[in-house]
A and B are shown apart, each in its own frame.
Chain A
Amino acid sequence: MAKSSTIQVRSSVKKGVATIKCLVSHPMETGLRKDKKGNLIPAKFIQNLTCEHSGDTVLDAELNGSISTNPYLKFAFSGANDGDTIKISWVDNTGEKDSGEFEIPTRRR
């Protein structure tokens, strides 16, 4: 399983519906802010974030710089089982990218 240093995921499945909470470490700089000297801080923000599950792109997010620093996303999709793997990938406006595969843990009974 490919690990990711920037993406953290908490997930669970209940009655076939997987709930994914995803936190990405990223500065999300808008490109509109200025530093103390009045120079614009160059933009650096995630533009695309996707989540794949068993061949489907269950979430295809296009983000702007106005998403908070260290973006948090929560979403849910059906047709999932305990132990399934999801893949989350992101690309920012400078071309930097990361992805990781995460197993939805088996629910404790």
Chain B
Amino acid sequence: MNHHRRILLKSTLAASATGMAISAGLLTPKAVLAAWNTSAFESKTVDAALTGAFGSASTADSDKIKLSAPDVAENGASVTVTVKSSLPKTEAISILVKENAQPLTASFNLNPRTEGAITTNIKMGKSSDVIAVVKADGKLYTTKQQVKVTIGGCGG
């Protein structure tokens, strides 16, 4: 009973109606979606994102990961990136864009039956290294490629 009154009071005191809408919109799904790693995705640096996602930022370079991305992207709003891992026991693949405001773009958790190859389209605000991180047999491996962007994908 008291608890509900407290919430009611808090929301009445919120600065503006928009503020309320935003906080309601942001908080409710986060509680529902425990699977989305908020701290990792909202990290501002590559290391922090990796620590949030995998518990460690120490990665080893590997030539068994192939990252295919264009050297020059005409449109940063959609850059096709393919990550192929031939590492045994590939468990997870993450794609990061170093210079984006939130580097961690996607994490894919793979079933043992799933092939270690993912293609997707990402946004890039400006020219940056694209980093692929693969978790295989409990260890982290990485490779990267620079992509030059001629038009930003995150304008504003």
Contact = CB atoms under 8 A, between A and B. Distances in A.
A53 B110 CA distance: 13
Interface string A56-77: 1111111111111101111111
Given A57-B111, A58-B113, A64-B41, A74 B119 contact: yes
Contacts of A56: 111, 113
B106 interface: yes
Given A32-B154, A33-B154, A62 B36 contact: yes
Q: Chain A's interface: helix, strand, loop or mixed, by majority?
A: strand
Interface string B129-156: 0000000000000000000000001111
A71 B108 contact: no
Interface string B93-110: 000010011101111111
Given A63-B106, A64-B106, A72 B29 contact: no
B115 A67 contact: no
Contacts, number: 130
Contact of B108 (A43, A60, A72, A93): A60
Given A68-B121, A73-B120, A77-B113, A61 B108 contact: yes
Interface residues of A, number: 39
A43 B80 CA distance: 22
15 contacts: A30-B101, A33-B155, A48-B33, A60-B111, A66-B105, A67-B120, A69-B78, A72-B80, A73-B120, A74-B82, A77-B111, A77-B115, A78-B113, A93-B25, A95-B32
* Nearest 9 Cβ contacts at the A-B interface: A74-B119, A68-B121, A60-B109, A68-B78, A33-B156, A76-B115, A47-B36, A66-B105, A62-B107
